[in-house]
Amino acid sequence: MSPEFWGFLALRRREPQDGSSKAVTAAVPDISPQLTVAVPEISPQLPSGTNHPSFSRDAVELEQAADADVSTPKDTCTNPTAEAKLVSPETIAKVVPIGDGNALVPAYLLKTINWNVHKIATRKLLQSVFGRRVLATHNLTGKVSPAFPDKMPKAKLDEALVNDIVQTVAERCNVTENPVRTCITIKCADEGKWLRKQLTKLKAKKKEDLEKKRKAEEKKLKMNSLNLKT
Amino acid sequence: MSPEFWGFLALRRREPQDGSSKAVTAAVPDISPQLTVAVPEISPQLPSGTNHPSFSRDAVELEQAADADVSTPKDTCTNPTAEAKLVSPETIAKVVPIGDGNALVPAYLLKTINWNVHKIATRKLLQSVFGRRVLATHNLTGKVSPAFPDKMPKAKLDEALVNDIVQTVAERCNVTENPVRTCITIKCADEGKWLRKQLTKLKAKKKEDLEKKRKAEEKKLKMNSLNLKT
DNA sequence: GTTCCAATTGGAG
DNA sequence: GCTCCAATTGGAA
């Protein structure tokens, strides 16, 4: 609850335009072109790192914090990001491309989606293609909110992947592309809130653990002093 | 540009919940039940006063300011709010109800609307039914923005009239009601910005006039003193 | 626990 | 000058 606790989340721009952004981008060349692995439920597309045309230091910190803190808890059920490549070929074969073919989603997922409800369809695809933490730390445009010009902009979702989703939903749900994009914006916002909650929990737990440790030390000291007396 | 200048526009709540709101509401009984008059282009539905279930003092001030300041300039082309009743019966007869029949719009307007573009259709109807200044000072729900909890909420647009518009557009444009409602929200926001601009201009003009007057006085005084010397 | 809503904003189109 | 976009927010559904 304390302001300083959220300092790194409720980010405010310190410099109007960070001159170091170019250098940072240069330092992070395109390593992997968004390989989408087949993982049942919540496929975790590698969170961030690749497609950030421009971000300033603060944004990077947010993502690192997110990566560091929330990667361990059971937010992904069975998934092993690394082990994904060791999965049997049959399972991998069940991933199919959508749109222009950049985005890959489990075939079974496509079958479960109700294409009458474009909002849900969009969210399902987003979840599958990007994973929660990417959604939480990115948005459609990567631009600052006009309503909150002091807040750090989030990174931009990979355009090609977004387009694949938008196309697919627009076609199969028979809606225009715009409501789909709006839906993406909302999903990212929602996942952002979710991430924050996760981090709050984590911090609370850490604090609690520290408290426990402190009390243990205290007790130990007390015992020691008692022993000395007798 | 000075903060105090916009003080009454960029309203901040002073008290959490204004206890006087009831009294104010009582002081403004429902005078006219939203009579919509037929005026070519921009029909000016009487701005405010009738359907405000709950608003605090600040909100009232905003509306009064708006009424007082922007009613004179040429924001409405040919319209005479008062004279509307003197218009020939034929002209009045050309007004037709939409939706459940609460909202009335000029028949010719309905004909000009392109029902393939729901956003434009919505805006046209809004303009006709409510008029710019009502749109500028009201919104869909009358609730505070969650993103700006300190800003005064605008008054709520008459629900029956809104419903008539929403129904009509949803039907004739073959869209769901929600995009129409979103469109209303945006239109109100846009008209709010428009009103602000008008007021800025007015204030600038007033200031300029004062300046002129002051200079004239100055000159006069100078002349007087010269006359005294000779 | 998620999804959805709508208020507000500045700027792009 | 008007329309449209999407970022952010808290709470409702």
The DSSP-derived string for chain A is --GGGGTTTS-B-SSSS-TTHHHHHHHS---S--PPP--SSS-----SSS--SS--HHHHHHHHHHHHHHSSSTTSSS--TTGGGGS-HHHHHTEEEETTTTEEEEHHHHHH--TT-HHHHHHHHHHHHH-HHHHHHEESS-PPPTT-TTBPPPEEPPHHHHHHHHHHHHHHHT--HHHHHHHHHHHHHHHHHHHHHHHHHHHHHHHHHHHHHHHHHHHHHHHHHHHHH-
Å from the A115 CA to the C13 C1': 31
- Residue A223: pLDDT band (50, 70, 90) is confident
Q: Which residues of B touch A147 (CB under 8 A)?
A: 147-148
Strand partners, B151: B12
Give the DSSP H/E element, type plus range, for residue B139.
strand B138-139
Q: What number is the average pLDDT over the span A191-198?
A: 96
Q: Does domain A3-229 have CATH number 1.10.10.2590?
A: yes
- Express each pLDDT in A6-36 by its tens digit: 444 555 554 433 333 333 333 333 333 333 3
Distance CA B127, CA B121 (A): 10
Distance CA B39, CA B81 (A): 9
Q: Does nucleic acid strand C have an atom less than 7 angstroms from the CB of B149? A: no
Nucleotides of C under 7 A from a protein CB: 2-11
* Angle, helix B57-70 to helix B177-229, in steps of 10 degrees: 60
Which nt is closest to the CA of B9, judged by C1'? C8
Q: What number is the average pLDDT over the span B101-119?
A: 96
Which nt is closest to the CA of B42, judged by C1'? D2
- Residue B67: pLDDT band (50, 70, 90) is low
> In the CATH scheme, what is the homologous superfamily, with its name and number, of domain B21-229?
BEN domain (1.10.10.2590)
Task: Please report the pLDDT score of residue A67 as a whole number.
Answer: 56
Strand partners, A106: A95
Q: Three-state DSSP class for B53?
A: coil
- Residue A193: pLDDT band (50, 70, 90) is very high
Residues 6 or more apart from B44 whose CB is under 8 A from it? Answer: B37, B76, B79, B81, B131, B132, B133
CA distance B106 to chain A (A): 31
Å from the B185 CA to the D3 C1': 13
Give percent of chain A with pLDDT exceeding 90: 46
Encoded amino acid at A184, one letter? I
CA distance B92 to chain A (A): 39
- Express each pLDDT in A147-160 by its tens digit: 999 999 999 999 99
Pull the structure tokens for residue A139. Answer: 């948005």
* Angle, helix B118-130 to helix B159-173, in steps of 10 degrees: 150
- Express each pLDDT in A43-67 by its tens digit: 444 444 333 333 433 444 445 555 5
Q: Which residues of A touch B179 (CB under 8 A)?
A: 179
Tokens 């989030």 -> residue: A154
Q: Three-state DSSP class for B97?
A: strand
Å from the A66 CA to the C3 C1': 23
Nucleotides of D under 7 A from a protein CB: 2-11
Name the residue ranges covered by the structural domains of chain B. 21-229
Closest CA to A56 of A134, A124, A153, A121: A153
Inform me whether the pLDDT recorded for A42 exceeds 50. Answer: no
Give the chain B residue whose CA is nearest to the CA of A148. B147
Pull the structure tokens for residue B21. Answer: 């709101």
Whole-number average pLDDT of chain A? 73
Inform me whether the pLDDT recorded for B79 exceeds 90. Answer: no
